[in-house]
Structure 1
């Protein structure tokens, strides 16, 4: 199907499923769209099993498999989503929570990858390096769908900023870790020399991390600053909206071409425009239009993304004989998230000061999303890829539907509690 027709179909389905959710389910929009898409997909699969002559399942499966979900997200939607998310995070608030965000997005990610990797290797017999790749796949969090629920629970600004900031940088760091580990685990597929070179491989991995992370941050800062300098000389809201869109699209592609982290570039550029650009480079009218435009982009892309997650069930080969492994994978993912939150909070709690309930709220609210599915789909073919893809999909769906629909109640339970220290 031509790209324009495919995009049109996805927009129509997202609007249709969103309307069904609005009138019937009344769930948060992105979660409702995912649930409707999942129900429709499973119903189509069941109908195909009962009446195989109709060919419904095979036709839909061919359509879904024809969508390169990994490229669509990692090379297209992700940059816009991260830029839009960062644009609405207040740098003043983020600066106050910088230590907690940094520790959770670095040490926290490393702990999560290690816990999932070691645990899944022990559970399944998967080679440790491959299991660590799986850990990197399911470590990025995507709390965009639940931020509205958390705001409705009237969380303190500090906790809300920590959740938003950690999720933005967590995605970028986890993606870099994924690139490093996949090069070590599948050297033939990625032109790497593999882990056999011992210390050289470790040093190369460390240099790659620094180049990707630091390079992405520097590029985002430079592009954001240059864009601000141009926008402050312009007073045309339509042109300035277009310029921010060019920054998000063009900056992401430039980062990919330069070999630095495009997600981190998008976050830093978004923070720069959201803070310096909006405050000093835009008129009130322009600020209003830029803010509204990126909120709509965020809502539309999330609707399409969650629709894609719902229909990607056709790309997953479920094996009911391994249901215990899938349940264990969900439990292991939650345990890893608990460790990745609890250790940083306990390490810096006295210095930073956290709201009571930070650990349970951030653990249960650390939703997995489209980036995990995209990373799993991008893995090179191997004997372990079907299991990784299935486990990832189950973790993501459980996370969004179960955790996403209950984290608001958990947040409200702690919303009136005093600080720990």
Structure 2
């Protein structure tokens, strides 16, 4: 009953904010509902206890009842990534495969290192205390672009198909290496650094990312065969729901990347030749269903991001470090794109405008917040966890609101 109550309240709030955005703000839904949630959060933080203290207590209790990291990584993200994958043309990905592979692996590593050093030395200049290994940890969790934020914003952009595929492909596949980097840095912090070697990291990455993609392809293939056999749109919807929910349980039980499992399964089902030969009615219902799921959960996710402000202690005291972190992340993003472009012989030449769009379109979102919230409080490093959560929040909000609202203008510049 408690779970039903919490989810019911969340859906009611989502519907109200969704309506307010469409009626008055008229922004992209993900940005609009998050801004409304942030404004409500700020009002509650500053005036709530004086105006309606009982309501604040109940609402804070409701927000605390959500394990945001598990809710996102174990629930919402899987549905959204599958919905994104099922609508993507895999042939477009094949054309841009070198760029997607490079930006989702090499660029994440470069960005992690760049964020770590830039943030560390910048904080020293402004006389803030900083720990280099925690700066690298922040770099690892903030470097992957967020698939939910990116796919949501890309729907409203007027950019070339080539650039759109590069940005969306990178965001769909870069979480695997980020999760591995975060795990490695946490082991070093917790005293397990003696077991860290290049071979161990490679094995961990192969299991996390490679295993996730392999299992996703297998599940996707089996599901597409089953869908083709029954040729019924209701059965097709139930089968795809089973793929997402059951696929996550499989991925979690064998410690592989759930998000990559979902992306791979969605791509296989959406691009199966047997599926393409199925009836138009069945494909239409299936597409509409997952489009609706995508829209609802997108709104829920960004409302949760907006309300996370209530759960971060003394978040406003980190505003200076937050601004420095935003600049560090943007500079590191530029470096992580520019270096591969200069070194790797891509088929096409990257213009300044293309690089500008790739840099500004690298949005951060719920994945980074979930990874930040998953960091444990390590003895000897008290206070660092809260600092990372706070500055991650600053970067994510800037990324979604400022970059998300201005990327179309950047794309139209000559």
Contact 1:28–1:145, Cα closer than 8 Å, also in 2: no
Residue 242 of structure 2 corresponds to residue 246 of structure 1: yes
Number of residues of Structure 1 aligned to a counterpart in Structure 2: 405
Residues 291-370 of structure 1: pairs in structure 2 closer than 5 A: 291-318=287-314, 320-348=316-344, 350-354=346-350, 357-370=353-366
Contact 1:89–1:164, Cα closer than 8 Å, also in 2: no
Contact 1:176–1:261, Cα closer than 8 Å, also in 2: no
What is the alpha-carbon distance in structure 2 between the residues aligned to residue 292 and residue 277 of structure 1?
Answer: 20
**Superimposed CA distance per residue, residues 241-292 of structure 1 (whole angstroms, 9 cap, x where no aligned partner):** 1111111111121011112111111111111111116644632111111111
Distance 1:285 1:327, change over 3 A: same
Residues 98-117 of structure 1: pairs in structure 2 closer than 5 A: 98-117=97-116
What is the alpha-carbon distance in structure 2 between the residues aligned to residue 151 and residue 61 of structure 1?
Answer: 33
What is the alpha-carbon distance in structure 1 between the residues aligned to residue 242 and residue 332 of structure 2?
Answer: 37
Q: Secondary structure at the match of 2:270?
A: helix
Tell me the CA shift for residue 36 of structure 1.
0.4
Tell me the CA shift for residue 7 of structure 1.
0.9
TM-score (norm 2): 0.92
Residue 213 of structure 2 corresponds to residue 220 of structure 1: no
Residue 226 of structure 2 corresponds to residue 230 of structure 1: yes
Distance 1:283 1:180, change over 3 A: farther
What is the alpha-carbon distance in structure 1 between the residues aligned to residue 278 and residue 187 of structure 2?
Answer: 43
Distance 1:388 1:153, change over 3 A: closer
Match of 1:182 among 158, 165, 186: 186
* Alignment partner, residue 368 of structure 2: 372
Tell me the CA shift for residue 319 of structure 1.
5.3
What is the alpha-carbon distance in structure 2 between the residues aligned to residue 316 and residue 398 of structure 1?
Answer: 17
Tell me the CA shift for residue 349 of structure 1.
5.7
Distance 1:196 1:146, change over 3 A: closer
Contact 2:224–2:275, Cα closer than 8 Å, also in 1: no
What is the alpha-carbon distance in structure 2 between the residues aligned to residue 202 and residue 184 of structure 1?
Answer: 14
The gaps in structure 1 that reach 5 residues or longer are 188-193, 415-421
Tell me the CA shift for residue 150 of structure 1.
4.2
* Alignment partner, residue 26 of structure 2: 26
Residues 119-158 of structure 1: pairs in structure 2 closer than 5 A: 119-122=118-121, 123=123, 124-142=128-146, 144-145=148-149, 147=151, 150-158=154-162
What is the alpha-carbon distance in structure 2 between the residues aligned to residue 148 and residue 209 of structure 1?
Answer: 28
TM-score (norm 1): 0.90
